Structure 1
Amino acid sequence: MKPLARYAALNSYIEVSQAVGLEPARLLRGAGLDPASLALQDRWVPAGAVARLLELSAVESGQQDFGLLLAERRRFANLGPLSLVIREEPDVRSALTVLIRHEHMYNEALRMRMSVLNGLATIRVGFEFGEQTETRQATELALGTLHRLLLGFLGSLWQPLAVCFTHHAPADPGTHRRLFGSAVKFEQEFNGVTFYADDLDAPNKMSDPLMRNYAYQILDTLEPPRESTVLNRVRELIELLLPTGQCSVEQVARSLGVDRRTIHRQLSDEGETFSSILNATRTELAGNLVATHRYTLTEIADLLSFSSPGNFSRWFRGQFGCSPSQWRNREHREA
């Protein structure tokens, strides 16, 4: 199945896209992503959809440095729960080792490898999306973020020996020069960053030895996304695709990199069907959405991909035994 990435990969996407004159909601929906879910940083979405969104944003805005503009706003916390562990590692080497070993906890498509040879350390960055996808912006976002992490460990005055990209230089390399200085190089044999190996032994100034054991206890309790069942992935994709109007077994199958028959067979092995999961997900969402006054009932019908408010009302009565209006009024009285 195709790999997933956390929504945190798009942290600050709204702000950056608006700053360069884009309509972020339209582009997100076009990529099969839900704009409202950007606030849910730990939710998982198809990594390929994130990469396509970044490429489309760069093309429509004319900003060849779009991925770097996002990287500039990256914070340590965007790594999610893993940041708690990395922060407590005693030195740069061990922090990078944890980052690379657990890369699947924030992006299943990301591939990072570190090598040390002749006094030099090199971290190479690549992606495996399971499909043919342009990766320029995703690569620049990943390398820009890695560079910022290294600055956090080694100090704002630290400079790498080289920041390498396999693609050609943009028409205006100003952002690249500003972030990487003279170290940036294009049309190289790999994507990655090279620096002195001695830097790996630099102490991590953020680390507190007394907190390290607690951080690893947290890591041990986290459920790796790569072990997610087909059922869970289908359920989450349905929830993500419903507001886009593109929620079908065919679309879910494409997002997971399989055909619809594979989806039906694997769900059947777990005693479910696509229709049963779709209905269960709609039921859960409908109960929550109707109980609040954030959306009108017509908007909720649209968010749940019903063809009309009337169809939504009839379905809702069948599930809950009352109309959406009655449910909303009852919840309001009980509150």
Structure 2
Amino acid sequence: MSVIRSAGLRGFRATVAELGGNAEEFATACGLPVAALDTDDLLVSDFEVAAVLELAAHRLRCPDLGLRISRRQDLAMLGPLALAIANSPTLADVLECTSRYLFVHARALSLTLEPDPYGDRSVIALRYGGPPGIPNPVQGTDLGLAFVHHTILQRLAEVRYGLRSVELPYRPAAPLSVYEEFFGAPVRVERPAALLRVPSSLATRPLSGGDENLHRLAMAFLAELTGGENAEVAPRVRAAVQRLLGTAAPEIGAVARLLTVHPRTLQRRLAAEGTSFATILDEARREEARRYLTTTDMPMSQVASLIGLSEQATFTRCARRWWHATPTAVRRSGNRGQRA
């Protein structure tokens, strides 16, 4: 399973409501946490995200759902990548940092520059999609292409940037006129890949309003966030575990996939840094449990579930080990501290 930040669902709830549907019902039907509809930083299955988009489009008889949702999305949904994009000096820098770091937002997605498939040297192709061999979900691909076109390229360039054509690897159910009106360019269907064909001169077009120093800082932060062979792995494991808690099983295999390393390699690197996956997971559970106990009135069973424990009794045993007190006592103590 690959994952995507729940920010990718921005606009889904509002668009579904506008069409007379219930976003939470669709999410539940697809196994997607309802919380993913209203927050940006949950890590959710990209399969579940694709499924909820397809289900909503089908049930609401809205075959251009992905295009509609994209109008409600903005650059900020990309998190730290948004800062690098917004402060890029040229569109070439925008494309470079997006293609390099899009996986921070969605592990399996990529945006790559390729030669024009029709051999036009004045055109380059922006290829969007997942790993080769995996079918392109219609609504998810529509949404991704629309976001790149409408939110990244068109808004940053501030003018029509010369989109030559849109290539779709499927034949959408919506009329092509809907797509051509949205993109302002011809749309070709049943092509080998999802592409935006743009002028090659676009790469050198300067952008106004950016700050090159902020761009460099953002790129440095992204490089540190994604890490390299010599970067400390424990902070990245800790961040991944915190995101997985409450949304997916916080297992070493899932974290290793996020960091693109083998689980045994991950264990060896953590051991070299004087810690272990079990230690990091236990610390993250303790911190999250205290936060839920002292800042919410959630039932204990729900708190246990959110920190990845299957039973309330297990949570009670962990609480006694962590704080030498029951969860109820910790909650009461925290509430007294707040009143004081």
Instruction: Quickly name the TM-score band, shorter chain normalised.
Output: 0.7 to 0.9
Partner of 1:327: 330
Greater relative contact order: 1 or 2 (C-alpha under 8 angstroms, separation 6 or more)?
1
How far residue 179 of structure 1 moved from its aligned partner, in angstroms, is: 0.9
Q: Secondary structure at the match of 1:121?
A: strand
Q: Secondary structure at the match of 2:94?
A: helix
Residue number among 189, 193, 200 corresponding to 2:192 in the alignment: 189
Residue number among 142, 147, 150 corresponding to 1:145 in the alignment: 147
Partner of 2:11: 12
8 A contact 1:92–1:200 mirrored in 2: yes
Partners of 2:106 and 2:165 in 1: CA distance? 24
TM-score (norm 2): 0.76
How far residue 3 of structure 1 moved from its aligned partner, in angstroms, is: 4.9
8 A contact 2:88–2:215 mirrored in 1: no
Partner of 1:219: 219
Partner of 2:123: 120
How far residue 50 of structure 1 moved from its aligned partner, in angstroms, is: 3.4
How far residue 168 of structure 1 moved from its aligned partner, in angstroms, is: 0.5
Structure 1 unaligned residues grouped into runs of 5+: none
Q: Secondary structure at the match of 1:270?
A: helix
Give per-residue Cα distances to partners, 1:282-302, cap 9 Å, x unaligned: 322211100113423343244
8 A contact 1:166–1:189 mirrored in 2: yes
Larger CA deviation: 46-55 vs 134-143: 46-55
Q: Which amino acid is the alignment partner of residue 10 of structure 1?
A: L
Residue number among 289, 294, 316 corresponding to 2:292 in the alignment: 289
How many residues get paired? Answer: 324
Over 3 Å counting, the alpha-carbon distance change for 1:274 and 1:93 in structure 2 is closer
Over 3 Å counting, the alpha-carbon distance change for 1:265 and 1:147 in structure 2 is closer
Give per-residue Cα distances to partners, 1:188-224, cap 9 Å, x unaligned: 23311123334444331333xxx20232023213334
2:306 is equivalent to residue 303 of structure 1: yes
Structure 2 unaligned residues grouped into runs of 5+: none
Partners of 1:196 and 1:310 in 2: CA distance? 62
Q: Which amino acid is the alignment partner of residue 124 of structure 1?
A: R
How far residue 264 of structure 1 moved from its aligned partner, in angstroms, is: 7.0
TM-score (norm 1): 0.77
Partner of 1:206: 209
Partner of 1:96: 95
Partners of 2:134 and 2:201 in 1: CA distance? 38
Partners of 2:335 and 2:300 in 1: CA distance? 15
Partners of 2:195 and 2:149 in 1: CA distance? 10
Partners of 1:90 and 1:280 in 2: CA distance? 41
Give per-residue Cα distances to partners, 1:78-104, cap 9 Å, x unaligned: 232233233333333333233223333
